Amino acid sequence: MKPVNDLRALSDEALRSKVADLRKELMKFNTQVAVGTVPKSPGLSRSIKRSIARALTILNERKVKTEV
């Protein structure tokens, strides 16, 4: 998806909306797999999960910085 530097440039609200969009995309992908449709890209699930984790990590880093 996006490189980490592009994610770091986003505001907190933009990151939260990005995470929500990625979760919706992952849910659609998982639904297709559950129904039995062959996915176009089998590795898409893994990359979406990693992008979600990157965005959440950045949000948590910012939260910890503001608390200290």
Task: Say which CATH topology domain 4-67 has.
Answer: Helix Hairpins (1.10.287)
Which pairs with CB-CB distance under 8 Å and at least 24 residues apart come from 62-66? 62/12
| Measured CA distances, 11 to 1, 17, 39, 49, 56 (Å) | 17, 10, 32, 20, 13
Tell whether pTM > 0.85: yes
pLDDT in tens, 12-64: 999 999 999 999 999 999 999 999 988 888 899 999 999 999 999 999 999 99
Confidence of residue 3 (pLDDT cuts 50, 70, 90): confident
Query: Distance between CA 6 and CA 8 in Å, rounded?
Result: 5
Q: Are 55 and 7 in contact (CB under 8 A)?
A: yes
Domain spans in the chain, listed from the N-terminal domain onward: 4-67
